Structures are given as structure tokens and as C-alpha cells.
Amino acid sequence: MDAREAVLDKYSGRVFKNRKDHIVELDEAGVPKEIASNSRSVPGLMINRGCCYAGCKGVVLGPLRDTVVITHGPIGCGYYTWGTRRNKADAPDGRNFIQYSFSTDMQETDIVFGGMKKLHQAIKEAVEIFQPKAVMICSTCPIGLIGDDINAVAATAEKEFGITCIAYSCEGYKGVSQSAGHHIANNGLMKRVIGSAKDEIPKEKKTFRLNILGEYNIGGDGWEQERILKKIGYEVVAVLTGDGSYEALTHAHTANLNLVQCHRSINYIAEMMKTKYNIDWIKVNFIGIDETIRTLREIADYFDDETIKKRTEEVIAEELEEIAEEREFYRNKLTGKTAGIFVGGSRSHHYQHLLMDFGVKTVIAGYEFAHRDDYEGREVIPDIKLDADSKNIEQITVEPDQQLFHVALDKARFDELRKKNVELEYYKGMFKDMGDGTITIDDFNHYETEKVLEIFKPDIFYSGIKDKYMIMKKGVPSNQLHSYDYSGPYACFKGSITFARNTYLSISTPAWNMMTPPWRTKSTLEGTLGDE
Ligand code: CFM
Ligand code: HCA
């Protein structure tokens, strides 16, 4: 029985039928293998996914530091997303609200009689007490069910208080994961915030102005990227949205180039900004030493400027020099080890490069909520419907239930993208880096995680809070790649060393030799998962 069959073996017919297409074993460098993804999880299986609200409020809007993001709903969703994501922020003007949890705290009577008055009052208080640059409202499940008109409340508040107030209908039940929430958030930012400062777009393309899209400053990653980019001579106009600000976003349309760091949560904004403001974009990766070097050279190539190119090489040499000794030390310690990675989107692929820098091979990988292009390397086109008659960006609509996102593209751009897609030239997903004897699983559940740990016996498994301790009880070290536990940054050159140090410490701690998990000495209960 191969690894894939062993993972599927205990499933009932119905569960087997669902899960079999989400699990792929690769025998050679992957593309064009296919995998099922972005579909509803099987109820009853313990999975790590979040919801639409988590993607909208938690991931994309939450890191904006000068903006009050109000959770409209009962207190639980606001409370349990309070401070759990380690998106760091530091506001020079003191306007930093990310450590607060704002919620309308809907009670039973509000659910029965409606919560619009309460929401209006919450906005009033937030504006009076905090004087934010903008207010954003994120709905949780019950709000969609009772039908509060949050757009009407936002419009009234905007007039009354003279402040931008944007409503997001990102109820948790929409779509199948956080992914739908990313798009709802992005569409709102695109429609209402980006470019709203109306300042002139520089005609000259060589002003070296960048936006970083999909960098959320977890553990300070964004700060490390900015440090390097500024040292080379670039100006960072806006970061979406780590340590980000509403204010900076209003000027984001004046950048020359968009760098797309997270390849899942934000790629639509890059394409929308290309259509609306003609800003080119490239997918980058600041995770890993070789990947950072490749990324910096690619950006320099884009601008094709001798001074920038020269400076890029100088900065690479300086940074490499600083880490040389530790790089060698950890490479010697870690070469030959194996790892598993299971995170939400991008990172399960990005971190494979960083592990390779230290000689660690990824044998198990998967995404919680990625789409097929993240695995297979095709472009975003399968999700984009052509509206050939219109260039009007305002016509973007989102249908999270069907995961269909309509973007108005002009015909030439659509054809250009489709060509890239067909040729599989532009960007390749995770499969191309998963070689012989590895397994890729979409939307892992805890049973499957236990199974692959038994089969592959990796030296370390990177994941999140929901499965970390279950993995450690299995005798396998587990570091978090969402929050970096309490560490970071992991990005760029110096971050790589911090990551390698944490990996080495986790693997080599003597604690693993002092425990004997029960299944090493006793047989465990066997059963069938799920009923026919
Ligand atoms: Fe992008 Fe992210 Fe990720 Fe993501 Fe997330 Fe995150 Fe993540 Mo947690 S935006 S897809 S929705 S890189 S919060 S910073 S760590 S699951 S892999
Ligand atoms: C989210 C946020 C999360 C959760 C992390 C985890 C994050 O998806 O809502 O499960 O450990 O990075 O904070 O992905």
C-alpha cells in the first residue's frame, strides 16, 4: 500500500470519495498534476480552516493600524480574533488601534429587533474616542441572517461624522474558507480606498516606488523587507496591509510596481490595479535566502537601472556577509533532515525554499484553503470571467458561495493572461518543488496529519495552533508558521537565520528523547472513520 492509499484506507466510502482527489503523491517534479481544492470540507473531520470573516477582518483589514475595524455581531468572533494573529504595527503618530477589539456585542434583543442602532452608536463612540482615519465594519454570521443593512448604517455614519466608513458583508458562512473573505476585503479596499487621494500618477516609471501586496508583517517580516528595499534605494509607498495604514493606501496607485508576496490572499488587487492604474506586478518571495536574492534581482531587472542594479548586488553581498558564519553552522546541523508544512496559503510553498537553503527536504505539504493554481502553477484566470465590453473596475462583483469572482478586464489583457496560463510559463505552484516520494494534501484533517507523521516520520512539522500540540503529542516537534510562535522575523537574510535557529533548537531539544508516547508501547484502538 502506498502512502496515499494508507492515508485513505480507513475512510468510509463516502469520505473516501470526497478526500481521494485532495491527496496527491508525486513521483517526479509535479506539474501538471491536478488536485481538488477550494471546496467544502467534510463535516465531522477536524480541520484547521477558518471562515470568511476570518479572511476579511482578521487577515486583510485587521492589520491596518489607523483604522477602527468593528466586528458587528455577538462578542465571540471579535474576542477570539483579538490579538491572535501576530501582525505587528508601530505607528509614529500614535494612531495604532490593532491591539483593540471593537465589537457591537450583539445581545438576544438586538438579534430579534435588529442591531443597526447599536452599530451606529458603536461607530459614533469609535470616532469620538479614537479619531481613526477610517472605520470598517465586518459582519459575522447572525448579521447576514437577520439582514441588518450595514451599508446603510455606514453611509449615514460617513455623512454624519465626515469619515470614510466601509461595510463588509463577510459573514462567516460565505464560501468555504478564509479565501472568500480575502476577496471581499480586497474589493472594498479597491473600490473605496486605493487611489482615493487622487494625487497624480507619476508619468515617469523610473521613480522606484513600490507597493508590497500580501505582506502582513507577521513577527516583523514586512519591516525586514522594507529595510532591505530602502537600503537599495526603493521607496515603499504602501504595504497591504501589514503595519499598513488607510492613509498610505489612498496613495498606493502612485507606485511603479506591485510586489505580490502572498500569492493567495491578494493577487486580485494586483490585477485590478494593473487594469485601473496600469501598474505592473510581479510575484515575489522574500522567504528564503536564494529566493530573496532572486526576488531582489527581478525587481532590479524590472526597473533596468544601473544604479539600482549595482546597489542590489552590494546589499546582497553585505547581507550575505553578515549571516555567512551562522548560515554555515545551521546548514551543517540541518542538512538531510525532513519536514512537513501545512499552512493556509502561500507559506506552505514559500517556506520550502527556506528549508532547502539549509538542506531540509519537505516531504509532506498542503494548504488549508488554496486554489488549484497555488498547487498546479496555473495563473488566476480560471476564476476570472471576462467582461469584454467594459474596462470599468467598479463592476467587480463577488459571489463567494460559488467562489466566482468577476473582474472587468479589457480584452487584450485577458488574452495576454490566458496565453500565460495556457503556456504555464509565468509562475509555477507548489507541485514543481515537490519531488519524488512526497505527498501533497489539500485541507488536511487531524486524522490525515497523524497518518502522514507515522508514514513519513519527518524531523519537524510546521503548522498552526490547532494541530501543534496534537503533533507534539505524537513525538514530532512542531513550530508554528502562522505566528512563528513568539519569534520572527523570518523574512530575507537575517530572518532566515532566526528560522534556522528555531528549527535546530526544536529538533535537537532533549525533551523528545525523554517521552514515550503510549502508541510506542501499547496497541491503539482501531475503528472506521465516518458512517456510510
Ligand atoms: Fe497569505 Fe498570510 Fe498565507 Fe493567508 Fe492566513 Fe497568515 Fe497563512 Mo495564517 S495571508 S495565505 S489567510 S501568507 S493568516 S499571513 S499565516 S493562514 S499561509
Ligand atoms: C486565520 C488566522 C490564522 C490562524 C492561525 C492558526 C493566523 O486563519 O484566521 O491556525 O494557527 O495566521 O493567525 O491563519
- Long-range contacts (CB closer than 8 Å, 24 or more residues apart) made by 465-469: 465/84, 466/48, 467/48, 467/342
Report the distance separating Cα 422 and Cα 442, nearest Å: 23
54 catalytic residue (yes or no)? yes
Residue 398: pLDDT over 60: no
Q: Is the CB of 345 under 6 A from ligand 1?
A: yes
pLDDT tens figures, 257-277:
999 999 899 877 888 898 889
Ligand 2 atom with the smallest distance to the CA of 468 is: 11
Exposure b/e, 253-267, CB count within 10 A at least 16 = b: bbbbbbbbbbbbbbb
DSSP result, 309-370:
HHHHHHHHHHHHHHHHHHHHHHHHHHTT-EEEEEESSTHHHHHHHHHHHTTPEEEEEEESS-
Per-residue pLDDT, 148: 98
- How many CB atoms sit inside 10 A of residue 353's CB? 19
**Least confident stretch, 244-248, 268-272, 501-505:** 268-272
182 catalytic residue (yes or no)? yes
Q: Which residue's C-alpha cell is 507597493?
A: 211
Report the distance separating Cα 193 and Cα 249, nearest Å: 6
Among 215, 263, 343, 443, residue to substitute to test ligand 1 (most atoms within 8 Å of Cβ): 343
Per-residue pLDDT, 336: 98
ipTM tops the 0.90 cut: yes
DSSP result, 49-84:
---HHIIIIIIIITTBTTEEEEEESSHHHHHHTSS-
Report the distance separating Cα 444 and Cα 22, nearest Å: 9
Q: Residue 479 has what DSSP assignment?
A: E
Which residue in the list 3, 19, 22, 51 is annotated as catalytic?
Answer: 51
Among 264, 286, 481, residue to substitute to test ligand 1 (most atoms within 8 Å of Cβ): 264
Q: In 3D, which of 354, 339, 347 has the Cα closest to residue 476?
A: 339
Rg (CA), the chain: 23
Q: Is the CB of 178 under 6 A from ligand 2?
A: yes
pLDDT tens figures, 337-387:
999 999 999 999 999 999 999 999 999 999 999 988 788 775 444 344 444
Strand 23-26's sheet: what is its strand order? Answer: 23-26, 438-441, 361-367, 338-343, 460-463, 478-480
At 475, list the grid cell: 513525538
- Give residue 402's pLDDT band: very low, low, confident or very high (50, 70, 90): very low
Among 243, 262, 284, 341, residue to substitute to test ligand 1 (most atoms within 8 Å of Cβ): 262
- 345 alpha carbon to ligand 1 midpoint, in Å? 6
Q: Residue 445 has what DSSP assignment?
A: B
The pTM of this model reads 0.90
Q: Is 203 exposed, middle or buried (0-12, 13-18, 19+ CB in 10 A)?
A: exposed
Residue 528: pLDDT over 80: no
**Facing residues of 168 across strands?**
138
Which residue in the list 4, 36, 85, 297 is annotated as catalytic?
Answer: 85
Q: Is 204 exposed, middle or buried (0-12, 13-18, 19+ CB in 10 A)?
A: exposed
pLDDT tens figures, 74-85:
999 999 999 899
Report the distance separating Cα 122 and Cα 106, nearest Å: 11
Task: Give Cα separations from 447 to 95, 375, 384, 459 (angstroms).
Answer: 44, 22, 34, 19
Per-residue pLDDT, 224: 98
User: What integer best gives the mean pLDDT of the chain?
Assistant: 88
51 catalytic residue (yes or no)? yes
